[in-house]
Amino acid sequence: MKKFIPFYLLVLFFSYTVSFADTSSNPATQQNISKQLPDVGDSETTGIRKEYLAEQKVKMLPSSHGKTIDSYLTNMTKIPMAQDLGWKVYTVEDGYEVERSILINNRKTYRYKWKVTNSGEVSPADDRARSLMK
């Protein structure tokens, strides 16, 4: 009887590790952050607004604090004294200006600004944004 217990445990262990689902039929696939978005100028062919593409390009930039700019700033807004004022996109003469604003203690507003050209190049527009980038 004592020899049967380890055999039963092995069978039980391997029955939990066996998966009968085909991996190609799994609809949930994780997106790769390093996957490039189309250029801002290609939005006519994809049907996506240029402002949205510019905002997504900034959000997906790598942060010097780890992961992405968006994840860092979102975590920053989770502290009790911070209020998220959201993302804003403004049209400028040769592209877009993307801004994220955070209000601290209902007094001081921190603004992070990036410039996205029509060709899709992203560069920080102020020192706060520059300090977040790698």
pLDDT tens digits for 24-68?
444 443 344 344 555 555 555 567 889 999 999 999 999 988 889
Residues 6+ apart with CB under 8 A from 93: none
Q: Report the candidate in 96, 98, 68 with the shortest Cα–Cα distance to residue 86.
A: 98
Helices (H), the chain: 4-17, 43-46, 50-59, 69-76, 127-132
- The predicted pLDDT at position 85 comes to 94
- pTM for this model (two decimals): 0.65
Percent of the chain with pLDDT over 70: 66
- The predicted pLDDT at position 41 comes to 52
